[in-house]
Structure 1
Amino acid sequence: MVLPEFAPLRLPLRRRLQTLAVLQWVCSFLLLGQLCTLLFVLALRGPLWLPALLYGLWLLADRDTPRRGGRPSAWVRAWPVWHHFRDYFPISLIRTVPLDPGRNYVFGFHPHGVLAAGAFGNFCTEATGFGRLFPGLRPRLLTLPCWFRLPLFREYAMAGGLVSSEASSLEHLLAGPGGLVAVIALGGPPEALEARPGALRLQLLRRTGFVRIALKYGTPLVPVFSFGENELFRQVPNPPGSRLRQLQGRLQRLLGVALPLFHARGVFQYSWGLLPFRRPIHTVVGAPLELPRVPNPSADQVQLWHRRYRERLRELFEEHKGKFGVPPERRLSFV
């Protein structure tokens, strides 16, 4: 029997604050939505039923906000807790070229990872300096619509800059005045089921909707690769075709979210738990791929620019992989 490796009793305060910051983030992702929903239901059935009812009515009136750019809060994005969150891994955001703040952009984020820690840290907070690196640009991270059906939790999610991943939401961002960045983890829930150390297979070949919408508005596509994203957790083996993967696929279609069975380390020991490993994440933002404005793009045009986007993403990966510990023989693959 292998005994767990326990954390030292004496650790610097900064390390403890980093662990607490990541613990609250993991708990928010896994439990906060359900807790907020339970509190709302209990309030409706208790002495706070009137405020809860009024909030419920307001939810109906506000239901389109996640598809209309959300309701970001500069105050929430600048919370000091996100600096501790950043330093836990740590996370860094790397700009390869400056971007014009008078234009809109689509950032394709790869890989998704289990919980998309790099996407959250870089684009839902200011901890890694997005506003300093890309002055005048305002990021919106697209996520599954189901999160915005959870009362109270939706307000917290939108405060960080999260918006719905529906096509109408992306179109709203790109149709507006310049300065918005739509960040999309293009692999989505299926890619989360394959996120494990060393994985370089991206779910991209059948995901062409973002190219079609970008062509419609003539919006540049910017490849983003987050080195280290897949190193944060281990998963229970679930190869394609296995019973576990089939079950996960059915649950994903039913619930709309991926349910990877992941594990890493704990709060007081390093052998097992739901906290991510302390592994550096380096998120590299590539140069924009300029697209023509085509109001009604054909299937051939979509495939052409999708192929060019994949080529740009592969070039970005190859250019930077040696700096971040990826062996030279490793290559990206697309499915």
Structure 2
Amino acid sequence: MPASSSRFRRCLQVFAVLQWVFSFLGLAQVCLALLIFTLLGQAWILAVLYLVWLYGDRDTPQTGGRRSAWVRNWAIWRHFRNYFPISLVKTAQLDPSQNYLFGFHPHGILVIGAFSNFCTEATGFSRIFPGLCPHLLMLPCWFHLPLFRDYIMCSGLVSSTKASAAHLLSRPGGGQVAVLAVGGPLEALEAKPGALSLRIRNQKGFVKLALEHGASLVPVFSFGENEVFQQYPNPPGSWVRRAQEALQGLLSVSLPLFHGRLGLPLPFRTPIYTVVGAPIPVQRSPRPSRAQVDTLHALYLERLTMLFEEHKERYGVPADRHLVLT
């Protein structure tokens, strides 16, 4: 391949990643400013009509969203994938007549592996898992932002409220996949190169949800997820961590202080391998007891640990490193 062509491809990859980082960190504010500007301008009637429509559409993020195959297949996502690169690894067959709850680990800074694999077709989800329709669960606050919420739903993002997940997991006929970054925003504060700490021991709501709807649980581990950004020091107990945790409680989102290449929010070119484990069959129990939840949660932790141990050396984790479950 000529050097000029190679440089052009790398430039496309950098652009693809930067536009995505911007969409995650700044697009919501731009959309809000655009709506306000339109309301105050001569085209105010368009903004009013949109707001009226928005009121009628307010429940869509909790009822399966509004995905677009066209958006999910944009060529830019293939450049995004190739920047790292990102790979989706299948380890077991998944029956498309069933509904599934994928537990995604670790959260990382920006859940890059989860977005690429489950919100785009860049890594071939529909080809690898035919008959399944993935939905990545995202904090509800993002779906209150006009215009931005319509854009993110196109990729298959939906609200992470219980009602939203329940809607997917109770769909008759199967084929629905709810993908949840189990560690949540606080786990993002632990996302540093080499970190293997997961906030999961007290995270049992997703297990209860699976029991209530009889949805199979599937552990997913994304190797390399914590390697793509460096985070400024924020050890537990430090004033930085205390401030971050206080803001998380107030805003519902974490605010990790991170950087990548050249000190910018441009990720390092580190391969990400998202490994999808074997499903854990779950017998439906509309009102599961605490003992049922605890038993299934313990089984899930066991399967997640097995998945990690089985694949870690293949994807660059030394044999003497193990998960730390907190």
With the length of structure 1 as denominator, give the TM-score of the two structures: 0.95
Q: Which runs of 5+ in 1 are unaligned?
A: 1-7, 266-270
Deviation at 1:254, TM superposition (A): 1.1
Deviation at 1:9, TM superposition (A): 9.9
2:92 corresponds to 1:97: yes
SS in 2 for 1:323: helix
Q: Determine the C-alpha separation between the residues in 1 that align with 2:274 and 2:175.
A: 20
SS in 1 for 2:285: coil
Structure 2 counterpart of 1:280: 271
Structure 2 counterpart of 1:170: 165
Amino acid at match of 1:126: E
Q: Determine the C-alpha separation between the residues in 2 that align with 1:248 and 1:258.
A: 7
2:189 corresponds to 1:193: yes
Q: Determine the C-alpha separation between the residues in 2 that align with 1:67 and 1:275.
A: 32
Deviation at 1:202, TM superposition (A): 0.3
Q: 2:217 aligns with which of 221, 224, 227?
A: 221
Q: 1:310 aligns with which of 283, 301, 310?
A: 301
SS in 1 for 2:26: helix
Deviation at 1:295, TM superposition (A): 1.1
With the length of structure 2 as denominator, give the TM-score of the two structures: 0.97
Aligned positions of 1:146-157 closer than 5 A: 146-157=141-152
Structure 2 counterpart of 1:3: none
Structure 2 counterpart of 1:268: none
Q: Determine the C-alpha separation between the residues in 2 that align with 1:11 and 1:55.
A: 43
Aligned positions of 1:1-335 closer than 5 A: 12-177=7-172, 178-265=174-261, 271-335=262-326
What per-residue deviation string (whole Å, max 9, x for no partner) do you get for residues 83-116 of structure 1?
0000000000000011111111000000000000
Task: Indicate the RMSD between aligned Cα atoms, in angstroms.
Answer: 1.2
What per-residue deviation string (whole Å, max 9, x for no partner) do you get for residues 157-184 of structure 1?
0000000000111100011121110000
Q: Determine the C-alpha separation between the residues in 2 that align with 1:11 and 1:292.
A: 52
Deviation at 1:27, TM superposition (A): 0.5
Q: Determine the C-alpha separation between the residues in 1 that align with 2:19 and 2:235.
A: 31
The sequence identity of aligned pairs, in percent, is 61
Once superposed, which parts of structure 1, at least 4 consecutive aligned residues long, lie more than 6 Å away?
none
Amino acid at match of 1:250: A
Q: Which runs of 5+ in 2 are unaligned?
A: none
What per-residue deviation string (whole Å, max 9, x for no partner) do you get for residues 249-270 of structure 1?
11111111110000011xxxxx
Amino acid at match of 1:318: E
Amino acid at match of 2:303: R
Amino acid at match of 2:123: T
SS in 1 for 2:52: helix
Q: Determine the C-alpha separation between the residues in 2 that align with 1:136 and 1:238.
A: 43
Q: Determine the C-alpha separation between the residues in 2 that align with 1:222 and 1:10.
A: 41
Amino acid at match of 1:34: Q
What per-residue deviation string (whole Å, max 9, x for no partner) do you get for residues 250-305 of structure 1?
1111111110000011xxxxx32110000000000000011111110011110110
SS in 1 for 2:266: coil
What per-residue deviation string (whole Å, max 9, x for no partner) do you get for residues 164-207 of structure 1?
00011110001112111000010110000110000000011111
Amino acid at match of 1:283: T
